[in-house]
Structure 1
């Protein structure tokens, strides 16, 4: 499923930015991290919706 692959990419991006923000104090990385976390939330909701739709179709 392509959303799962997207989640993996977003997590990898979040890890890199979290490291830069928390260990190096890079504020721009913090902004990117917040944006990535919002994208993770939206993508996770898409997955949840797809699962519910498939489950109810049975």
Structure 2
């Protein structure tokens, strides 16, 4: 469940920057959002691989 907590924390940490970018049109916040989304993508990929490996190992 630790990975799920990491995922939730990352998404929640971006909330303020999303608001600043979309509501106040703050360009620097947009940069932070893009970086955060890239981190989210990478974390999601790591979790995907981890789940697939665990699934494959249980089938053997």
TM-score when scaled to structure 2? Answer: 0.88
What's the offset of the Cα at 1:13? 1.6
**Structure whose CA Rg is larger:** 2
The structure with higher relative contact order (CA 8 Å, sep 6+) is 1
**CA RMSD of superposed structures (Å):** 0.9
Distance, in Å, in 1 between the alignment partners of 2:33 and 2:45 is 18
What is the match of residue 19 of structure 1? 19
**Deviating runs (4+, > 6 A) in structure 1?**
none
SS of the aligned residue for 2:14 comes to helix
What's the offset of the Cα at 1:2? 2.4
TM-score when scaled to structure 1? Answer: 0.91
Distance, in Å, in 2 between the alignment partners of 1:3 and 1:34 is 21
Gaps of 5+ in 2: none
Gaps of 5+ in 1: none
